[in-house]
Amino acid sequence: MTVEQFDPNKTSPKAQSDIKQTTTLDTPNQVIAEQASQVGHSQTQGSRIGFVSLGCPKNLVDSERILTQLRTEGYDVVPSYDDADLVIVNTCGFIDSAVQESLDTIGEALNENGKVLVTGCLGAKEDEITEIHPNVLGVTGPHAYEEVLTQVHSHVAKPKHNPFTDLIPDHGVKLTPKHFAYLKISEGCNHRCTFCIIPSMRGDLDSRPIGSVLSEAKRLADAGVKELLVISQDTSAYGVDVKHKTDFWDGMPVKTHMKAMCEQLAKLGIWVRLHYVYPYPHVDDIIPLMAEGKILPYLDIPFQHASKRILKLMKRPGSSDRVLERIKKWREICPELVIRSTFIVGFPGETEEEFEELLDFLREAQLDRVGCFKYSPVEGATANDLPDHVPEEIQEQRLQRFMQVQAEISAAKLQARIGQEYLVLIDEVTDIGAVGRSYMDAPEVDGKVHLSDEFDVKPGELVWVQIIHADEHDVWGVKVDDE
Ligand code: SF4
């Protein structure tokens, strides 16, 4: 197995949703062993499951839920194929390379172990899996937690529940480092972007009750999580499917709405970072919360393009009208605001003029963090039927031109940070120093703050850092007193 962390800013950029967070067979075991020791117990000697998690943070959260349930029922999660009574592969099916990786991983698990259950996005295409791997024991689609457990029960005996050894932390099993966690607020999506097959795999928008979201957030904060990353397919649409109905949390009525959620999360006193926000008008209402320091002044908005015609062909949610004007207004209200976005170049029918329009937008918008990928047909996506597909070499040239423009913007923006001081959350301490992130950097996708020769800090610690050097992606700094 290989471990890879995909960094869309540094290597070949792809869609934001394609951020790969391959979690190998031994990672869940390590995390669970560490978490079990935190609650004073080791793993049991129960029935043994191997688990491989592929794909984006949303899939990672699904893996966490399945693992939490397995541990609650007393199953052991083991680090090798040989030790496992059965292996679960949680797949990704977003683009062709992710499908291939999922199929390869299933093949590897079958060769090495023989008893394999498949779940996750690719599971929505059962025929595609069973055609290549007819010996898998069962296939389920995304967020099918109960079905996965039912399948596990029918192949590996449910262990005898032991309330003393089966303890898991209140916050469940988390596959992220213990100082940050993904908080998934909804499943599915009501949009039908023509390049995307997620709605066909994950269904329409299905918002979690706000009380449940806030309870999970509180449990995580109580467990020492310092940063919550709010994720979904469309965070600004949160609650639309339930007409923003009122739920209760902590004895208070709270609406199932993005703003109400942000206001409540702000009370936890930890970093709250919003991902996958679409530029609907009500996004304007959360900028003041950022200006007041209640949630991080960071917005991850996948704009995807700037040309009206291309956005229409993409069937993108949210109007592109006046986006620049709105960004300007947001920055007036909250000057520290950092905006991350992703774009697609070489979409079918994209002309040179429309691509130039995108570059102009980039120069004008001065976005802080940007990922870009060349359009590639995904099986089942309606954009495949559009005429005038852009030849690969032109796509490649446009990608390079795009990245060059953005690299200059990013470099200038980071240079301007030199001399400033920022609160930095330490992620790790290596043999050359510490590495962390400021509010400007989401884990895995953005840059890092390097503290060379700094060993007197711990992962999860927040320290003040003065920036002394920058390239177009990362910054370097020194620890300063927290005045
Ligand atoms: S908003 Fe568009 S790209 Fe995002 S999940 Fe929904 S359909 Fe896919």
3 state DSSP class of 449: strand
- Please return the burial class of 349, using the count of CB atoms within 10 Å of its CB with bins 0-12, 13-18 and 19+: middle
Expressed in angstroms and rounded, the spacing between residue 464 Cα and the centre of ligand 1 is 37
Distance from residue 79's CA to the centre of ligand 1 (Å) = 34
Q: What is the extent of the structural domain holding 401?
A: 180-416
Q: Alpha helix locations (H) across 416-466?
A: none
**Contact, 477 vs 449, CB < 8 A?**
yes
Closest CA to 371 of 308, 301, 475: 301
Pocket test of ligand 1: the residue of 233, 343, 344 to mutate, having most ligand atoms within 8 Å of its CB, is 233
CB 15 within 8 A of CB 401: no
d(CA 225, CA 223): 6
15 C-beta closer than 6 A to ligand 1: no
Tell me, yes or no, whether 42 lies in a domain.
yes
Residues 60 and 105 in one domain: yes
CA of 276 to the centre of ligand 1 (A): 9
**Same domain? 412 vs 422:** no
Any atom of ligand 1 within 6 Å of the Cβ of 235: no
Mutate to test the pocket of ligand 1, among 18, 193, 347 (most ligand atoms within 8 A of CB): 193
* Boundary of a domain, candidates 369, 392, 416: 416
Long-range CB contacts for residues 281-287, cutoff 8 Å, separation at least 24: 282/236, 282/258, 283/236, 283/258, 284/326, 284/329, 284/330, 285/259, 286/258, 286/259, 286/262, 287/330, 287/333, 287/334, 287/337
Longest dimension (CA), the chain: 66
Q: Do residues 236 and 248 share a domain? A: yes
Q: Output the CA–CA distances (angstroms, integers) from residue 216 to 170, 212, 259, 261, 328, in the order listed.
A: 9, 6, 18, 12, 35
Quickly list DSSP for 156-219: SPPPPP-TTTS---TT----S-TTEEEEE-EES-S---TT--HHHHH-S-EEPPHHHHHHHHHH
What is the structure's pLDDT at 9?
Answer: 29
Residue 28 CB less than 6 A away from ligand 1: no
pLDDT of residue 26: 66
pLDDT at 466: 97
Residues 320 and 244 placed together within one structural domain of the fold = yes
Same domain, 225 and 107: no
Do 129 and 45 fall into the same domain? yes
DSSP string, 303-314: -B---HHHHHHH
- Do 377 and 439 fall within a single domain? no
Query: Is the CB of residue 31 less than 8 Å from the CB of residue 175?
Result: yes
Query: Among 155, 190, 210, which residue terminates a domain?
Result: 155
Q: Report pLDDT for 45.
A: 55
The closest-lying atom of ligand 1 relative to the alpha carbon of residue 197 is 8
Residue 170 lies in a domain: no
Over residues 63-108, the pLDDT tens digits come to 888 888 888 777 888 888 888 999 999 998 877 788 889 999 999 9
Give the closest residue to 48 by CA, choosing from 88, 75, 29. 75
- With a 6 A CB cut-off, is 196 part of the ligand 1 pocket? yes
- The residue whose CB lies within 8 Å of the most ligand 1 atoms, and thus the one to mutate among 192, 196, 316, is 196
pLDDT at position 143: 78
Residue 8: predicted pLDDT: 27
Distance CA 128, CA 141 (A): 13
Does 56 appear as a known binding residue?
Answer: yes
Q: Do 296 and 348 reside in the same domain of the chain? A: yes
CB atoms within 10 A of CB 168: 18
Q: Which CATH number goes with the domain that contains 398?
A: 3.80.30.20
Q: Is 193 annotated as a binding residue?
A: yes
Task: Kindly state whether residues 455 and 381 are assigned to the same domain.
Answer: no
Looking at the structure, do residues 99 and 235 belong to the same domain, yes or no?
no
Q: Using CA atoms, how far apart are residues 390 and 345, in angstroms rounded to an integer?
A: 9
**112: Cα separation from own chain's centroid:** 29
Q: At 57, which CATH number? A: 3.40.50.12160
Residue 8 is assigned to a structural domain of this protein? no
Radius of gyration, alpha carbons of the chain:
22
Residue 198 sits in the same domain as residue 286:
yes
**Amino acid identity for residue 448 in this structure:** K
Round to whole Å and give the CA distance between 273 and 235: 11
What is the 274 CA–ligand 1 centroid distance (Å)?
16
Count of domains observed in the chain: 3
**Same structural domain, 308 and 390:** yes
**14 domain residue, yes or no:** no
Q: Which residues pair with 298 in a beta bridge?
A: 338
Residues in the chain where the model's pLDDT stays below 70 = 1-46, 160-174, 317-321, 483
pLDDT of residue 34: 66
Query: What is the per-residue pLDDT for 291?
Result: 97
Give 36 Cα–ligand 1 centroid separation in angstroms.
37
CATH code, domain with 433: 2.40.50.140
